[in-house]
Amino acid sequence: MGIKIIKLLTFVIVLFIISVFFISLNKSSFYNTKVLEGQKISGINLNHFSEDRTIIEKDLKKNNFTLINFWASWCGPCRLEHPFLLKLKSEKKLNIIGVNFKDKKSNAINFLKELGNPYNELAKDEFGRQSINFGIYGIPESILINKDLVILKKFIGPISKKDYNFIKNVIKKK
């Protein structure tokens, strides 16, 4: 009797393990922080780019939607997403905050002069400290939050046309 139980148990465990392996073949092994969507952001303390003040949570709560975009003049893909950011600037419900990441002030200003300034507010993150508070691990990266500071979507890499349409749809709803 004891042997029968062990036999059954063994078969069940083996089948279970094999099925899990089969299912896992379809899953991607690349990690992204999309798991954080739905959480609130916190600990916000962004230095303004040119003025001597900081942007904190209270400031962000004033807007219906905010898109926080991390960029730098030395970042190639940032140029790809710039046209979409410029288009989004005209959206009244959306406030775009640009965070200049580990960059030289003059280079950043030249970059915006060359490609246009899509940002309602400009902040700087000289050593990257603030990026960690937003869960950023590469640039460009953008976060869409609502009035309650809940992360609606994380955009890893440059904003594509699909992302642009997604943002437009979301802000239309409210």
Partner 1 sequence: MKLKIIIFFILLNINSIKAENLKANKNEIFKNIRCLICQGQSVADSNSEFAQTIKLVINDQINEGKSEKEIYIFLVEKYGEWIVYKPPFSKTNFLLWTLPYLVFLIGGFVIFFIVRKNKEN
Partner 2 sequence: MLSNVGNLLLSLNILIGISIIFFSIKSLEDRTDLIGKNIYNLCLFQSTSIITCFFTLIAAFIISDFSLITVYQNSHSLKPIFYKISGTWGNHEGSLLLWAIILTIFSYLFLLINNKHPKRYRIYTLIIQNILIIGFLIFLLFNSNPFSLILPAPKEGLGLNPILQDPALAIHPPLLYIGFVGSSIYFSAAIASLLTDYSDKQFAQSIKNWVLLSWSFQTIGILTGSIWAYYELGWGGFWFWDPVENASLLPWFAMTALIHSLIVLEKRNLLYFWVIILCLLTFILSVTGTFLVRSGILNSVHTFANDPTRGAYILIFLSLMILASVFIFFKKFRSKNYNVNSNSKETFILINNWFMIFYLITVLLGTVYPIFTEVLSDNKVSVGPPFYNTVIIPILVLFLYFMSLGPQARWIKNQFNNLKSIVIILFGSILMNFVIVYLFESYSVLSNFIIISSIFLIFSSIKDTIKLFKNKDFNFSRIVSHTAFGFLVLFIGLNYNFSLEKDFNLKVGETKKFDNYSIKFKDLNLKVFKNYKAVIGEFKILNLRNNSEQSLTPEIRIYENPSTLTYEASIRTGLLKDYYITMSNIDRSDYYNIKFQKKPFMLWIWISVIIISLGGFLRLFKNGNKNY
Tell me which residues in 32-61 interact with partner 1 (CB under 8 A).
Answer: 33, 35-36, 39
Residue 101: phi, psi to the nearest 5? Answer: -100, 120
Determine, following the binding rule CB under 8 A, whether residue 36 of this chain makes contact with partner 2.
no
For residue 84 the two structure tokens come to: 């979409």
Collapsed DSSP state (helix, strand, coil) of residue 21: helix
Q: Judged by CB, which is closer to partner 2: 21, or 51?
A: 21
DSSP symbols for 81-117: HHHHHHHHHT-SSEEEEEEEES--HHHHHHHHHHH--
Tell me which residues in 79-138 interact with partner 1 (CB under 8 A).
Answer: 102, 127-129, 131-135, 137-138
For the bound state, the minimum distance from the C-beta of residue 88 to partner 2, rounded and expressed in Å, comes to 29
Question: Which of 1, 5, 9, 11 touches partner 2 (CB under 8 A)?
Answer: 11
Tokens 């990026």 locate to 131
Tokens 């975009």 locate to 69
For the bound state, the minimum distance from the C-beta of residue 122 to partner 2, rounded and expressed in Å, comes to 20
Interacting partner of 18 out of partner 2, partner 1, none (Cβ under 5 to 8 A depending on kind): partner 2
Distance separating the N- and C-terminal Cα atoms of the chain: 65
Binding site residues, partner 2, CB under 8 A? 3, 7, 10-11, 14, 18, 20-27, 29-31, 35, 74
